Amino acid sequence: MNLLRRKSFDDLLAHTQEKKLTKALGAFDITLMGLGIIIGTGIFVLTGIGAAKYAGPGLMLSFVFAAITCAFVCLAYSELASFLPVSGSSYTYAYASLGEIFGWWVGWSLILEYSVGASAVAGGWSAYFVGILHSCGIDLPKALTSVPADGGIINLPAVLIVLLATALLVVGVRESAKVNRILVFVKIGTIFLFLFLAAPHIEPANWQPFLPFGMQGVFAGTAVLFFAYLGFDALSTAAEETKNPKRDMPIGIILALAICTILYIAVCAAMTGVVPYPMLDTAAPASYVLEYIGLHLGSAIVGTGAICGLSTVVLGMLFAQSRALYSMSRDGLMPMSLYKVHPKFHTPYIIQIIIGVVVACITGFTPIHIVAETCSAGTIFAFLCSCVGILILRRVYPDKPRGFRCPAVHIIAPLGFICCAFIFSELSPHTLILFGGWSVLGLLIYLVYGNRHSVLQKQEAGK
């Protein structure tokens, strides 16, 4: 039983279409795409929770450390995407470089990442929705807007937004680039409006002590806030459509990460400067801060902008989840029967509905900080494997064409691995146990089903 069999370069490219993608993207387009993907849960949801539970005002440093790590990893991703322009992202890269069992493990981790990621985003969406209704004088029962751990029964608004997003994906609704561009500016405009309204009310005394939990708290905050940069790896898939990938990809990636980090730090500074950090333990911190200083209309406007931004993130994560499962099904590691296409809508409706129901259950009953940490675990593991994978593929296929080559790869990739490994070690024991349990379950499924039905295994057996 060969668990380390690898897909060859030619086999992987056989999955792609023969037609050439149009090279139409420049550095500005990559930057704008990055802002659209990254800005969401981190700035609208996790900033308050991260400050209250982990790092206090020192959360600003957590954002910096997370961004530096992401920069190393994303440069590696850009080369991998231009080298293997196949759907599946980290799963495909691990399959080609580390072998099938690692490919499965990464793919299984991606399922965890997108499932709990969508749950966390939906939880934040719910908090802002409830806050807007409160600003209008409408208060929903806590039993229907909070998870059991917070004294409620079910977070019903979060469940409903997940089910609505699932329904939209089943009928084949797609976001156009034009709509996405508009929403990017709506999100950025919302952030600047928040900063404009909150800045005059900052009390520098609230920033003392700056590191109430010490550097250990900053690193713990970094582990949680890695979720704030979730989605930056999707930028790497645009390498084949970039005019000058060697120049535009690194510029676009680094610029997007830099702008997001500056905005994250500014928002964190404003929040912790206006409200004492222990009071920020809420999934809708931007609205809460403006409510705290009596700006009810501003709170409602900012909350509406946050809802617009978070809605697209929920859709994107649920869609990405189905793509990860599709790639694994295509390789025989998951039942292809789950991927039955709807005769009218031409969408994989069975798996999309299953995903929607599972995510709805998670978001309805699980505290947001737990799902955010768990999501970070799956993400970081996938990044670790990609940092190793790029070095292996450089050695195995040194002369194969690459639209983008990671500069100083033998320095960048190890630095990315070391940073990711350190951040992974800072996750809470509870999260590591959850990730370990998920991994063991995945291994059992692979040994019982995936290994036996693997397309590559059947090809090798037929030789």
Residue 200 domain flag: yes
Task: Give the domain extent around 107.
Answer: 25-456
Residue 461 domain flag: no
pLDDT at 19: 46
Whether 20 has a pLDDT exceeding 70, the answer reads: no
The count of domains in the chain is 1
State the Cα–Cα distance between residues 7 and 93, nearest whole angstrom: 10
Residue 2 domain flag: no
Residue 1 domain flag: no
pLDDT tens-digit map of 278-333: 999 888 898 899 989 988 888 888 888 888 888 878 887 787 777 678 778 878 88
pLDDT tens-digit map of 241-292: 677 776 787 788 788 888 888 898 999 999 999 999 999 988 889 889 998 9
We report the CATH number of the domain holding residue 311 as 1.20.1740.10
C-alpha pair distances (Å), 13 with each of 18, 85, 92, 347, 402: 9, 8, 11, 24, 13
Whether 165 has a pLDDT exceeding 80, the answer reads: yes
SS3 helix, strand, coil % of the chain, rounded to 5? 75, 0, 20
Give 182-218 as a DSSP string. Answer: HHHHHHHHHHHHHHHHHGGG--GGGG-SS-TTHHHHH
Residue 18 domain flag: no
Residue 121 in tokens: 């985003």
Residue 83 domain flag: yes
Task: Give the residue-averaged pLDDT of 218-224.
Answer: 88
Residue 19 domain flag: no
Which residues are CB-contacts of 321 (< 8 A; sequence separation ≥ 6)?
A: 110, 111, 114, 115, 118, 355, 359
Residue 15 domain flag: no
pLDDT tens-digit map of 353-391: 998 999 999 989 888 777 777 778 888 898 999 899 999
Comparing CA positions, the residue from 304, 330, 272, 293 lying closest to residue 11 is 330
**pTM (2 d.p.):** 0.81
